Structures are given as structure tokens and as C-alpha cells.
Structure 1
């Protein structure tokens, strides 16, 4: 198993064990130009989570080994969503790790301090790892994530060290799920719908054009639909 696949699988296993998740969807994804499987879509469900969506895309001919996890809380919960993208492509490794805010952090200081401030030492330590460098992500996408996002490229050894950062973020997120966060005075479900529509919009994230080229429009929309619903 590759480093990116193993990292995501450990993360899924930890979350599944914590909440006794059950598989609701397990679907092979095929290539647009070939009937051979190029990936897998899984959806796992169990209280108190709404769903965990995992997408694996492994295409050796184009050097792609990509594994994504998005763990969602219910729409009316203030607890951040958890996301991890773990990738090897054409000789480099990349990662996107974050907790997705459910409210405007600038006007929700108690929420910020509880949900995100404890991640600061882990964030700072991650950027000190030799071989970790910032990924090219524009301000438009960054505006939809948190300031504690780790989005980077890494050497193989640095990527291995980043596994510790993922474990620390996951432990903190599981604590938030279990203990809760300070309340916020907004329509959480309405904000979540809009936020997810933007996060997973092809207008915002160019990765959807690549996924569509690989899987075709129908399968790409099936994957995106699981992330939106």
C-alpha cells in the first residue's frame, strides 16, 4: 500500500472505530476511456456523524495516487467538518488537511479558541518539517477553508512525518465531536449548504475538471453529489 493510501486508511479506520461506522456505499469508479477500475467511492455512516466520504483514484499510467476523506457532521451542527487529501503524483507528494469552520471565525472568538486555537502548535510544527513547502492554492479557495489548513507539497520522508500532524488534527477533531463546541447564533444548516456548494464547485476548484476528464461527467457528478448532500 502506498504512503498516501496508508495514511488515509489509518484515518478512516480510527474514525470508524470511534463511531462504529457502517458502509452505506462502496462503488468502483471506472475510467472514461477504459472499463478498468481507476478508483473507489465509499460512504460510511454512523452517529453522531452524518457521513464519511472517501474517494480513491489510482491511475499508474498517469502517475496518480490520490486518496481523499471528508467527514461531515449534520447540517445543524457547529462542529467543523474534517478533511484530508493525500496524494502522490509524478514524483511528488502532496497533502491538504483541515477542519472546515461552520461559522465566520472573525466574529466567533469563543468558537475559534475552542475549535481551532489548540491546533496551532501542530500547524507550526508541520511547516518546520524539512521537505515541506506550500502548495499553490489561490486566495479564493483559501477563503473557504480555515487559517489552520495544511496544504503543501512534500518529499517522501517529509510526507511520512506529516502523518503525525494528521493524527494530531484527527485527535483534536474527535474530541470536538465528543465534547462539542461553543454555540454560534446563525442558521448552521443554511450556511453549510452554501459553503459546501462553493467548496465543491467546479467554478472554484479546478480539480473537478481533472476528475471529469478521468471519470466522465456522470461519475464525477456522483462523487460531487455525495459531498454536497
Structure 2
């Protein structure tokens, strides 16, 4: 069991256990195949629930190209202001890397009380992780950062440092789960009356999983083909 798989799988199981109505459903993308290998090179798992509307796992493991990549996205419902949770954990042959974030459901610059409730409690964790020895900033451009949050952690890591990030992942996941369970106070919710939550979410997710915004999809296409890659993207873009 690789470190990236172990981190992602443990986090997924914690979310499923805590939000007990999540049920795994069948998907035609359960086995991902590639011309590069006679055996499947990855898998997708999809869970559906109520407070957590959808949880998606995508794993790609191809030893011949030194790829060991695992990703989860946990999506709240269209009408919810609770951010989405995401974790990527990767081994690329000469380095480990991870991406951890809560994806905003409202504009942060104009909704300070939302920032204080949804994100500010993560600041000590963000600062501790940012200062952790063995972590270096990953190359993510400002355009891609613009669709995420300022509390995003996206780093390359030594093997030792990667093995130690579990507590940061748990802290983000636990805070997110608390928001899912408790929601926001009425005064915070009132400040979001100017936000079309479903419409904004649809637009943001289309951007996050856009081939134009995130170059990783071109790499996935080379491995899986355009049709399968677009089917993965479609599963991530919508809760339906």
C-alpha cells in the first residue's frame, strides 16, 4: 500500500464513516483502462448521500511511468454554502505531492463573516503545514489558484514529510465535516443572500475541471483517451 493511496483511502473512509448515509453506487468508470497496459490502470468510486451530496475517488497507478495518483472530492449540495472538500495525493517517481483545500461556495472578498466561519479556523493548520520541513511549494499558476481558496495547501514533499501530513489532512477534513453537520449561524447565512449558490457552484466546478484551466487533464487524456477523460470530468462537474 503506497503512501499516497493510504492517505487518500484513509481520508475517504473517515468521511464515509462520519457521514453515515453515503452509499457507494455503480459507475461505468469503476475500471479505467489504457493502451499502455493490458491491466486496468485506475479506478473511480462514487458515493451519494444527503448532507454530502457526492463523494468521488479517482485513482491512477501506472508503475511504468512512475505514476501513483489518488484524488477525492466531497461535494455538498447545490443549495449549500458549505465548501467542497478535496485531497490529491501523488507519487511521481522522484517526489511526493499533495493538494488539500476547501473550495469556496461564495466570493470570499465580499463575505468576511463566511471567511471567518468557513476558513479562519484553519489558519493555524495552514501556517503549521506551510512551515513544515520537507515541503516545497508546487508549481500552480495564479489562474488555477483563483478558482480555489487562499487556504489551499499544494506542495511537493520528501517521503518523510509526506508521511507526516496526515494530521493536517485530518484537521481540514474534520473542520469540513463539522461545517457539513452544523452549517453556519443565521447571521452568516444572511450575508450570502446575494449569492446564487447553485449557479455559482456550477460555474466554478466547470472551471476547476476544465481542460483549459488545469493541465492535468491533458496528461490524463494521454493515458486514458479523450472520451474516458471527459467522462471523469463530467462526473466531477455535476452532482446528478
TM-score, with normalisation over the residues of structure 1? 0.98
Match of 1:205 among 189, 199, 214: 214
Shift of 1:208: 0.3
Aligned-partner Cα distance in 2 for 1:59–1:5? 13
Given the alignment of the two structures, is residue 62 of structure 1 paired with residue 65 of structure 2, yes or no? Answer: yes
- C-alpha RMSD of matched pairs (Å): 0.9
Secondary structure of 2:31's counterpart equals: strand
Shift of 1:32: 3.2
Aligned-partner Cα distance in 1 for 2:111–2:183? 15
Secondary structure of 1:208's counterpart equals: helix
Given the alignment of the two structures, is residue 111 of structure 1 paired with residue 98 of structure 2, yes or no? Answer: no
Aligned-partner Cα distance in 2 for 1:32–1:168? 39
TM-score, with normalisation over the residues of structure 2? 0.93
Gapped runs of 5+ residues in structure 1?
none
- 2:230 maps to which residue? 221
Gapped runs of 5+ residues in structure 2?
none
| CA deviations over 1:123-147 (Å, ceiling 9, x no partner) | 0000111100100000000011000
Contact kept, 8 Å, 1:32 with 1:213, in 2: the verdict is no
- 2:18 maps to which residue? 18
Counterparts of 1:57-136 in structure 2, within 5 Å, are 57-136=60-139
Shift of 1:34: 3.5
